[in-house]
Amino acid sequence: MMDLIRNVARKIDQGERLSDEDALALFNSNELVEIGRLADGVNRAKNKDLVFYNVNRHINPTNICALSCKFCAYSRKPGEEGAYAYSIEEMVTKAGEAVAQGATEVHMVGGLHPRWKFEHYKDMIAAVKQAFPHVHIKAFTAVELDWLARRARKTIEEILRELQAVGLGSLPGGGAEIFHPEIRDTICDTKVSAEQWLNTHRIAHNLGMHSNCTMLYGHIENYAHRVDHMRRLRELQDETGGFNAFIPLSFQPFQNEMGINNYTFGYDDLKTLAIARLYLDNFRHVKAYWIMLGQEVAQLGLEFGANDLDGTVIEEKISRMAGGRAGMAMSRNFIEHLILKSRRIPCERDTLYRPIKQPELRPKTEPSSNLRQAINKCDYGELLTIEDLQLLADQASLHEVGRLAAAVCGQAVTAGEGSFAPTTVLKLAEVSSVEDALSTLDAVAERNCSKFKLAASTIAIDLAPSTAPAAGESAASLGLDALLAIATNCRERFPTQEVAVWGTKGLWRLAQSQQISVAKLAERLAAAGVQSFGSSPDESETDLTNQEITELHSLMHAAGIPTIAKVELTAPTYGPSEPQWSAFLRRVRALADLQARTGKVVGIEVTASPGSFITTSEYFRAIALARLGSQGIPMVIAPLTMIPTLSQPKGLGTASYQHPAEKIASVCLHFGAADLGSIDMQKLSPISIMEQIRAAGFKPTLRASNQQQPSLEVYSAIEQGLRHAPSLGL
Ligand code: SF4
């Protein structure tokens, strides 16, 4: 595969255009970081460090539509529940609200209203333009224009000229979907054909109007259909040069007639952005449309060739009704924050990509000799110092640290595999006695088994205080004897599964309350059959010192119990500062040193401390640096349930499970992580985790927490409908 990357790199260097076969081969390749690095190089050559966004508002005038495209969750028939149609006055009011917030663009697309005449649409544009003459109106897809032309019995050129005369500035790129008839005839056979769509944009370009173009992917099309779609766009761009931006639209899977209920995975989104950037050499702009990708993938998209994040949007109904999870608005500050944290320069633009204010570009700097030395050390497998790691944190590109970390990861664990631990979790603070604990465990284990046809690989007893309102205070309230009795019984009841205890602070608390040393406690846990120890997902450890953490883990190791340690990146305001990166790296290094002494640190889990302000690019950098700084430790873990996500209002870095983490978790496997952590089978389906890992190009494997190598491929067992995975001996 590296031959492919080398060949593509050579073509780019020589200014040679990529062929359809090249694009297809890139889609079929698993070299995500390398493809991203090439796309980033092409993007920087075109746009330097600039990332564009605009302050805009989407207004969808109506969802009443004469057509019934199979993938559409937005349209309604007249009189149907949820149908709406804004009056022209309402449209003007909504545009006015946006203008008051500084919008320079109004974006209007909607359904094909069976009773609205062409004059109504013209009046709509004219009214908004008259009220706000300085605002650019981008409106009507080629599908809407075709409908209007037919209703008015005019040609596309005639209606475009009339709309242009009353204020239409440019066309959005919707309605393109997938051009290839094999797909188009299935998902939207009543829509304009590919040729009609392209011809409408050709006519607009010839009238001096610019437009965007889109591609709806992630449904029933294959990679060849995507390449075919992009080729047709590239050809038209060669002819007219009228496209502003290419916008890949990831399929939103709710309420459609196609029976697809999966979101695209981040791996596919990022690869599609990057290949578009490489293939569409005559486009200046590729947009990471956050409304559909989510903020996490959109920000990462800036590393994969995208140079535009769209805009503030404010109200968008089309993808929202189809299951869009990203919210409907992002503030200017938030957009700029995402761009700055990906180490690029935000540039507010108008619709035609003219900067509202001229941005200050940074002078291009060559990497320092110290950074080159640190990179060389990685390449030669030498031990990195804290100073080397800090340099990589401060100065290296995300691709560079990702590339280096993935290489180390491949040496540490079986390359090409991504593991996780399906787990039955017992919160000790939520049970009232040993009997209650055991019957709860039996019931949960049985339920998990019958639901997923798969036994958990790990039984975890979590010592963190309860999060359930009516439950007990902490593990200490039930006592050590109860914990030991539960562990012993677990060993007997679940002989082929690993028994783990979770909770660093819980263990200190327990030792204190029982007035015994942690060393003694560790010995008693080992004697009761506890086989591994890890952090609780419900407790932050940032207030513990490196010394306290290493001491606790080394005492467990001395008792013969392997451990997984959590490392939290902290940044209460606007991303980690240099000292916060330094603290993170020192914690990683302290664990690596412990591993050199005991050999019993199985893995480190990378997460953000609760309430931290950490963006997705920073989290990916943390994963890669943890891998580079922890030579000797088998696994760096991106725990799916603790990956920081961005969608909550104050959710930057909240260490709680958010759905969008699914989109990016398996991408971490390309940046040095080998494992997605313990998955509580009561909360998440192991089958969906396997699908995520597979979708990122890795072979999904199960592990128990104390095993250094992923242990079991269970797909075939599940597919055969076996009650238990046979290799687990159940
Ligand atoms: S995709 Fe557009 S044209 Fe098709 S049904 Fe939905 S609103 Fe109507």
> Is residue 245, in this structure, part of any structural domain at all?
yes
Indicate whether 546 and 642 sit together in one domain: yes
Residue pair 487/499 in contact (Cβ under 8 Å)? The answer is yes
Comparing C-alpha atoms, which of 567, 560, 566, 614 is closest to residue 586?
567
> Cα of 441 to ligand 1 centre, how many Å?
49
> Cα of 327 to ligand 1 centre, how many Å?
21
Q: How many CA atoms lie within 13 A of 661 on its CB side?
A: 24
Residue 63 alpha carbon, nearest atom of ligand 1: 7
Indicate whether 318 and 380 sit together in one domain: no
> Is residue 359, in this structure, part of any structural domain at all?
no
User: pLDDT value at position 57?
Assistant: 87
Residue nearest to atom 3 of ligand 1 (CA): 67
> Cα of 141 to ligand 1 centre, how many Å?
10
User: pLDDT value at position 656?
Assistant: 33
Mutate to test the pocket of ligand 1, among 71, 109, 116, 143 (most ligand atoms within 8 A of CB): 143
Mutate to test the pocket of ligand 1, among 62, 74, 178 (most ligand atoms within 8 A of CB): 74
Cβ count within 10 A of residue 169: 20
Residue nearest to atom 4 of ligand 1 (CA): 69
Indicate whether 414 and 336 sit together in one domain: no
Mutate to test the pocket of ligand 1, among 76, 112, 317 (most ligand atoms within 8 A of CB): 112
Residue 110 alpha carbon, nearest atom of ligand 1: 7
Indicate whether 380 and 466 sit together in one domain: yes
What domain count does the chain have?
2
Q: Which parts of the chain sit beneath pLDDT 70?
A: 1, 254-257, 259-261, 313-329, 467-477, 647-660, 705-730
Mutate to test the pocket of ligand 1, among 67, 151, 177 (most ligand atoms within 8 A of CB): 67
Residue 141 alpha carbon, nearest atom of ligand 1: 2
> Cα of 86 to ligand 1 centre, how many Å?
17
> Cα of 160 to ligand 1 centre, how many Å?
20
> Cα of 695 to ligand 1 centre, how many Å?
29
Indicate whether 427 and 304 sit together in one domain: no
Mutate to test the pocket of ligand 1, among 62, 65, 186 (most ligand atoms within 8 A of CB): 65
Residue 112 alpha carbon, nearest atom of ligand 1: 8
User: pLDDT value at position 728?
Assistant: 36
> Cα of 146 to ligand 1 centre, how many Å?
13
Indicate whether 333 and 379 sit together in one domain: no
User: pLDDT value at position 706?
Assistant: 58
Q: Give the span between the Cα atoms of 114 and 147, in whole angstroms.
A: 9
> Cα of 214 to ligand 1 centre, how many Å?
15
> Cα of 266 to ligand 1 centre, how many Å?
26
Residue 68 alpha carbon, nearest atom of ligand 1: 5
Residue 143 alpha carbon, nearest atom of ligand 1: 3
Q: Give the span between the Cα atoms of 521 and 484, in whole angstroms.
A: 10
> Is residue 679, in this structure, part of any structural domain at all?
yes
Residue nearest to atom 2 of ligand 1 (CA): 111
> Cα of 562 to ligand 1 centre, how many Å?
56
Indicate whether 596 and 682 sit together in one domain: yes
Residue pair 93/125 in contact (Cβ under 8 Å)? The answer is no
> Cα of 107 to ligand 1 centre, how many Å?
16
Q: Give the span between the Cα atoms of 165 and 696, in whole angstroms.
A: 49
Cβ count within 10 A of residue 241: 12
C-alpha to C-alpha distances, 77 to 49, 104, 335, nearest whole angstrom: 46, 33, 36
> Is residue 276, in this structure, part of any structural domain at all?
yes
Residue pair 644/608 in contact (Cβ under 8 Å)? The answer is yes
Indicate whether 163 and 60 sit together in one domain: yes
Name the β-bridge partners of 460.
425, 500
Comparing C-alpha atoms, which of 680, 193, 111 is closest to residue 421?
680
Residue 17 CA, chain-centre distance (Å), reads 30
Cβ count within 10 A of residue 83: 16
Cβ count within 10 A of residue 394: 11
Indicate whether 409 and 307 sit together in one domain: no
> Is residue 355, in this structure, part of any structural domain at all?
no
At 311, which helix (H) or strand (E)?
strand 308-311
Residue 390 CA, chain-centre distance (Å), reads 25
Q: Which of 332, 348, 364 is the last residue of a domain?
A: 348
Residue pair 424/444 in contact (Cβ under 8 Å)? The answer is yes
CA angle 104, 110, 111 (to 5 degrees): 170
The DSSP call for residue 250 is E
Indicate whether 300 and 232 sit together in one domain: yes
> Is residue 370, in this structure, part of any structural domain at all?
no
> Cα of 557 to ligand 1 centre, how many Å?
61
User: pLDDT value at position 711?
Assistant: 40
Place of tokens 């019995």: 153
> Cα of 162 to ligand 1 centre, how many Å?
24
> Cα of 235 to ligand 1 centre, how many Å?
26
Comparing C-alpha atoms, which of 342, 249, 348, 247 is closest to residue 303?
342
SS3 547: helix
Which residues line the pocket of ligand 1, CB cutoff 6 A?
A: 65, 67-69, 72, 74-75, 111-112, 143
> Is residue 568, in this structure, part of any structural domain at all?
yes
Q: Which of 300, 329, 348 is the last residue of a domain?
A: 348
Indicate whether 595 and 650 sit together in one domain: yes
> Cα of 116 to ligand 1 centre, how many Å?
15
> Is residue 48, in this structure, part of any structural domain at all?
yes
CATH number of the CATH domain containing 265: 3.20.20.70
Q: Give the span between the Cα atoms of 378 and 386, in whole angstroms.
A: 13
User: Which runs of E-coded beta strand occur in 38-167?
Assistant: 50-54, 56-59, 105-108, 136-139
Per the structure, the complete domain to which residue 514 belongs is given by: 375-728
Name the β-bridge partners of 702.
420, 712
Indicate whether 456 and 584 sit together in one domain: yes
Residue nearest to atom 7 of ligand 1 (CA): 111
